[in-house]
Structure 1
Amino acid sequence: MRILQLGKFYPIRGGVEKVAYDLMTGLSEQDVRCDMMCAASQGGSRIIPVNKNASVICCHTWMKAAATMISPAMIFALRKNCRNYDIIHVHHPDPMACLALLLSGYKGKVVLHWHSDIQKQKILLKLYSPLQQWLLRRADKIIGTTPVYLAESPFLRGLQKKTVCLPIGVQPMCSAPKAAEKIRNQYANKKIVFSLGRLVAYKGYCFLVEAAKYLSDDYVVLIGGTGALKDELQREIKELGIEGKVKLLGRIGDEDLPAYYGACDVFCLSSVQKTEAFGIVQIEAMSCGKPVVATNIPQSGVAWVNAHGISGLNVEPGNAEELARAIEAVTKDETAYRHYATGAANRYKELFTQERMIEKCMKIYMEL
């Protein structure tokens, strides 16, 4: 088989791109030819060899508008190369990739990976809707990351016969005990609550900051990531007088992430909107045996990923006090903590390993 993962950006910055890249590398390591074509967020068109069976085909981008890379080069590149592939695996949402597929003249099999509905860009959605409807009809198989999202997305109604659930899988976070111990020493005698993500509205960090107000001084909240709301969150921390209980860490490099996952007692995903469709950071934390406190976002798969009462607890979105109470419940005593920690590790192994994702994706391809 020859497979093309189509869509999003390079270098890898978000969850959708990471899934496409991990599928490419995982499948290519099993002797399947699998390339990835995407818009270059910096630099011109180029081909980046990954291994003997995989390359990233980067297409020059004119500009970014409404969270979409405008890359006419992708249209020409796909039209030139599409006949080299048995299956094109499109990662949605990405209007540019959809347009390129439409104009490519490709006649082979199409897999549509429905990572999330378009939520924020309402005007873009109106313009894109006819193209999106074409893509849904064109797809031979539609993949969703959770059964909840497949069942609840209004765009997938009437298409259930060609949908299949493929949960995202990741490699386990490598242990970094010395670095983790250094962080724990920095916050000695504290229970560490860790969160990671872009500092944007749908992540609900204002509620996690407020939750610290309800936690005792035995806790410290560490938030990794950068974004537009950094200054606003810092002001909130100062106004609440909790500078000693909440720390904005800024960007954490990939090499340092295992230490923070290893050092924390509990991971918190405070997101409040359906834009958060899965929450890869949850399964990264679970791979380290860390309990998760997340939110019951309507029509999102977040609460399915974090099984309530097993791998952690899920609370009402936008409720700071409930977040705090859930964090306390998970960490209140050794018995409760061990229950959630063991549940988190087991759920990762059962559902969210990268090997499992690759194996199931291969089966989907073989059926087509």
Structure 2
Amino acid sequence: MTRVLHCYKTYYPDTFGGIEQVIYQLAEGGIKEDIRSVIFTHSPSFENKKEALDNHLIYRVKTLYEFASTPFSYSAIRQFKKLAEDSDIIHYHFPYPFMDFMHFAAGIKKPSVVSYHSDIVKQKTLLRLYTPLMNRFLSSVNHIVAASPNYVESSPVLQRFKDKVEVIPYGLDKEFYQNNDPAVLQKWHAIFPNGFFLFIGTFRYYKGLHILIEAARNSRYPVVVVGAGPIEAELKSQAQRLGVNNIHFLGALEDSEKSALLQLCTCLVFPSHLRSEAFGISLLEGALYSKPLISSEIGTGTTFINIDSVTGLVVPPSDPAALRKAMDEIWNNPQLASSYGAAALARFESHFTADKMVKSYNRIYKSLLNR
């Protein structure tokens, strides 16, 4: 049995982002590979405690304060060191600057892997202060994993450490999504009987939802938006100001509701326009359901998932007119949309299953332990 300690700044149920989903898939999928996982994380809501989630354990330390989206805790270093002593592999999830500090403060000597999920894009001034620690941390770990070759080529940081970088795409477990309730399907089909464009994600500055709203002006098809986030009020105000009454903000939904909408939608639209969007788990979800995809070319994993004119359409970033043209093309050509959807599913099954991801990480774990 291989004991893996995952380290990231947040986890279920406090947040439900793409990185949290990847960690969950690794932890649960690892059971079949005889991998036992513990997740070390911060929480604003929970006191220090250990608890089970399905087949893995979570150890939370309470966040003392947060700065620049990074949680801090005085007790974290002591608890992290204790958990590391009982682990075979330390699996870090980057970016999380306090994690780099903990690595050195706890004197970690165990084999270590970093899943490099994203460059730090927004905090440019703080990045200059953090860079020496970041470079020292990435130099000290044994292996760095990126989720797409596109991101490796476009990231100055990964280029600097290219000799220890490997690509392992994110993967999803199809069984996790086969939970559609017929009553839920019927409900959404009655509301949107003729299809719709679907966005699923957290409302953040880089998701491009303001571009989607602009693109939807004077269109005749429904645009369904699932999620919540810090700019929600701003987006709703924009839609109202522009008179876009065919966009439907449904809020954060349960998995059964999202699965139903994924099954019923005409197309998964993903307008992220900045490279803070390093991959795009929602695109994988659309592909899993055989849906055509629309995304922007931002030099990251989105275009590793969505191949232009094969699995869907890729448009220039921050271009509402181009996005509208792509949406019109998908909506007006059902046969083309079906062809793209079939290709998206085929690409998902060949590149992006949870089983492939877990086996690839297990190979790295074993090589580090054998070394």
> Structure 2 counterpart of 1:194, which letter?
L
Equivalent residue runs for 1:91-110 within 5 Å: 91-110=93-112
Number of matched residues? 362
Q: Which residue of 2 aligns with 1:237?
A: 239
User: Do the aligned residues in 1 keep the contact of 2:198 with 2:269 (CA within 8 Å)?
Assistant: yes
> Structure 2 counterpart of 1:57, which letter?
Y
Q: Which residue of 1 aligns with 2:344?
A: 344
Q: Give the CA RMSD over aligned residues.
A: 1.7
User: Do the aligned residues in 2 keep the contact of 1:225 with 1:251 (CA within 8 Å)?
Assistant: yes
User: Do the aligned residues in 2 keep the contact of 1:211 with 1:324 (CA within 8 Å)?
Assistant: yes
User: Do the aligned residues in 2 keep the contact of 1:207 with 1:318 (CA within 8 Å)?
Assistant: yes
> Structure 2 counterpart of 1:23, which letter?
L
Q: SS of the counterpart of 1:326?
A: helix
Q: Which residue of 2 aligns with 1:275?
A: 276
Range 30-39 or range 114-123, more displaced: 30-39
| TM-aligned CA deviation for residue 348 of structure 1 | 1.1
Q: Distance in 1 between matches of 2:227 and 2:53?
A: 28
Range 342-351 or range 324-333, more displaced: 324-333
| TM-aligned CA deviation for residue 230 of structure 1 | 2.1
* Residue 188 of structure 1 pairs with residue 193 of structure 2: yes
Q: Distance in 1 between matches of 2:202 and 2:53?
A: 28
User: Do the aligned residues in 2 keep the contact of 1:330 with 1:340 (CA within 8 Å)?
Assistant: no
Q: Distance in 1 between matches of 2:239 and 2:326?
A: 21
Range 141-150 or range 94-103, more displaced: 94-103
Q: Bigger relative contact order, structure 1 or 2, given CA contacts below 8 A and separation 6+? A: 2
* Residue 58 of structure 1 pairs with residue 60 of structure 2: yes
Q: Distance in 1 between matches of 2:349 and 2:328?
A: 26
Q: Which residue of 2 aligns with 1:308?
A: 308
Question: Structure 2: any 5+ residue segments left out of the alignment?
Answer: none
Change (3 A) 1:29 1:41: farther
| TM-aligned CA deviation for residue 13 of structure 1 | 2.0
Equivalent residue runs for 1:110-189 within 5 Å: 110-172=112-174, 173-174=177-178, 176=180, 177-189=182-194
Q: Which residue of 1 aligns with 2:252?
A: 251
Q: SS of the counterpart of 2:169?
A: coil
> Structure 1 counterpart of 2:266, which letter?
D
Q: SS of the counterpart of 2:52?
A: strand
| TM-aligned CA deviation for residue 51 of structure 1 | 5.8
Q: Distance in 1 between matches of 2:211 and 2:218?
A: 11
Q: Distance in 1 between matches of 2:143 and 2:7?
A: 15
Equivalent residue runs for 1:286-365 within 5 Å: 286-297=287-298, 299-365=299-365
Change (3 A) 1:232 1:33: closer
| TM-aligned CA deviation for residue 175 of structure 1 | 5.2
Q: Distance in 2 between matches of 1:80 and 1:178?
A: 48
* Residue 224 of structure 1 pairs with residue 226 of structure 2: yes
> Structure 2 counterpart of 1:164, which letter?
E
Q: SS of the counterpart of 1:78?
A: helix
Q: Distance in 1 between matches of 2:9 and 2:310?
A: 34
Q: SS of the counterpart of 1:3?
A: strand
User: Do the aligned residues in 2 keep the contact of 1:193 with 1:265 (CA within 8 Å)?
Assistant: yes
Q: Distance in 1 between matches of 2:225 and 2:52?
A: 35
> Structure 2 counterpart of 1:193, which letter?
F
Q: Distance in 1 between matches of 2:172 and 2:186?
A: 24
> Structure 1 counterpart of 2:324, which letter?
A
Q: Distance in 2 between matches of 1:295 and 1:214?
A: 22
Q: Which residue of 2 aligns with 1:30?
A: 33
* Residue 47 of structure 1 pairs with residue 45 of structure 2: no
Range 345-354 or range 231-240, more displaced: 231-240
Q: SS of the counterpart of 1:142?
A: strand
User: Alignment identity in percent?
Assistant: 28
Range 230-239 or range 155-164, more displaced: 230-239
> Structure 1 counterpart of 2:36, which letter?
R
Q: SS of the counterpart of 2:318?
A: coil
> Structure 2 counterpart of 1:63, which letter?
Y
**Normalising by structure 1, what TM-score?**
0.93
2:205 to 179, 201, 205: 201
* Offset from partner CA, 1:182-206 (integer Å, 9 cap, x none): 21221233x3000012222211111
| TM-aligned CA deviation for residue 335 of structure 1 | 2.4
* Offset from partner CA, 1:14-72 (integer Å, 9 cap, x none): 211221222122213432222111112311111113467x3111112102221011122
| TM-aligned CA deviation for residue 8 of structure 1 | 2.0
Q: Which residue of 1 aligns with 2:21?
A: 18
Q: Distance in 1 between matches of 2:82 and 2:50?
A: 14
User: Do the aligned residues in 2 keep the contact of 1:10 with 1:41 (CA within 8 Å)?
Assistant: no
Question: Structure 1: any 5+ residue segments left out of the alignment?
Answer: none
Q: Distance in 2 between matches of 1:361 and 1:38?
A: 20
Q: Distance in 2 between matches of 1:269 and 1:362?
A: 31
Q: Distance in 1 between matches of 2:268 and 2:136?
A: 40
| TM-aligned CA deviation for residue 181 of structure 1 | 3.6
> Structure 2 counterpart of 1:133, which letter?
N
| TM-aligned CA deviation for residue 358 of structure 1 | 0.7
**Normalising by structure 2, what TM-score?**
0.93
| TM-aligned CA deviation for residue 282 of structure 1 | 0.6
| TM-aligned CA deviation for residue 80 of structure 1 | 2.2
Change (3 A) 1:317 1:214: farther
Q: SS of the counterpart of 2:317?
A: coil
Range 195-204 or range 228-237, more displaced: 228-237
